[in-house]
């Protein structure tokens, strides 16, 4: 069975106090929702404090980005070793905001993914198309290109050790959400592309959906056969919303590996 995963991406929001309050609010209810996995990804300055708060709980710690190089003369960067030292288990790789706002290429995302694997972190690889690309019928071409860059560098065995998140750029922070059917179509395409190389890896691969997931639509999205949870942005900053989304994952029907 593929176990559902819900990861909260706090992005560049909040403060030390608000982050600690948020964790305090979500830990008790999530302790009872034991049929899914959970993670939170705060900004770098708050990793240590949040990591200490979730230690020993059902919630894992993740980071929002990482440097593609090992420790060294890279001013302003954060290495995988540092993330491990802070208690991280996960790291988000290639989020659309890293690609679009900061100019991160497919190759750089692939390098970061490889670094995460090297240091024993579980990378959450983000894939997704813009509205213009979707309207041009290029969704599969874009997603395949982004995925293939990682496969080329880390191999299909590398994909087996990570998580994939389909995040249509046009649905991130816009209030728009891919319909459950639209999400399922792309998730099935991703799984099928991995299956062409290794069916066993594809069957076990956890593929998350991200893009304006809310308490009101999480159950419908998580009911899709190839949607294995969510990478949650804005809703992860509201305790009640995040817990409700996690409850939807906990209550979702388990998916049999293909």
Question: Is 187 tagged catalytic?
Answer: no
CA-to-CA separations, 129 to 31, 148, 211, in angstroms, rounded: 35, 15, 11
CB 80 within 8 A of CB 119: yes
Is 167 annotated as catalytic? yes
Residue 127's beta-bridge partner residues? 166
Question: In Å, how far from its chain's centre is CA 64?
Answer: 9
Sort 34 into a burial class: Cβ within 10 Å, 0-12 / 13-18 / 19+.
Answer: exposed
End-to-end CA gap in the chain: 9
One of 167, 187, 241, 250 is an active-site residue; which one? Answer: 167
Provide CB contacts within 8 A for 238, sequence distance 6+. Answer: none
H helical segments located in 5-138: 16-31, 47-54, 80-85, 96-100, 106-118, 131-135
Burial annotation 65-81 (CB, 10 A radius, 16+ → b, else e): bbbbeeeeeeeeebbbe
- 95, 104, 187, 250: the catalytic one is 95
Main-chain phi, psi angles of 168, to 5 degrees: -60, 125
**Which residue matches tokens 């009911």?**
223
Q: What are phi and psi of 207, to 5 degrees?
A: -120, 115
Q: Which residues are catalytic?
A: 95, 167
């Amino acid at each position: 069975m593929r176990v559902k995963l819900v990861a909260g991406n706090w992005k560049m929001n909040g403060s030390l106090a608000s982050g600690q309050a948020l964790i305090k609010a979500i830990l008790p209810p999530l302790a009872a929702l034991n049929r899914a996995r959970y993670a939170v990804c705060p900004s770098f300055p708050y990793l240590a404090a949040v990591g200490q708060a979730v230690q020993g709980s059902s919630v894992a710690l993740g980071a929002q980005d990482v440097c593609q190089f090992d420790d060294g003369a890279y001013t302003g960067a954060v290495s995988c070793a540092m993330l491990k030292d802070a208690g991280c288990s996960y790291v988000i790789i290639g989020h659309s905001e890293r690609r679009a706002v900061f100019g991160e290429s497919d190759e750089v995302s692939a390098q970061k993914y490889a670094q995460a694997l090297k240091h024993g972190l579980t990378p959450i690889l983000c894939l997704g198309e813009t509205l213009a690309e979707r309207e041009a019928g290029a969704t599969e071409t874009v997603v395949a290109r982004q995925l293939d860059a990682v496969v080329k560098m880390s191999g299909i065995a590398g994909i087996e050790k990570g998580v994939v998140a389909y995040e249509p750029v046009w649905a991130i922070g816009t209030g728009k959400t891919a319909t459950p059917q639209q999400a399922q179509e792309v998730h099935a395409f991703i799984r099928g592309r991995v299956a062409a190389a290794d069916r066993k890896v594809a069957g076990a691969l956890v593929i998350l959906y991200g893009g304006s997931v809310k308490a009101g639509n999480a159950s419908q999205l998580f009911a899709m056969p190839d949607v294995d949870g969510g990478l949650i942005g804005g809703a992860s900053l509201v305790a009640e919303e995040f817990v409700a989304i996690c409850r939807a994952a906990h209550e979702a029907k388990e998916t049999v590996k293909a």
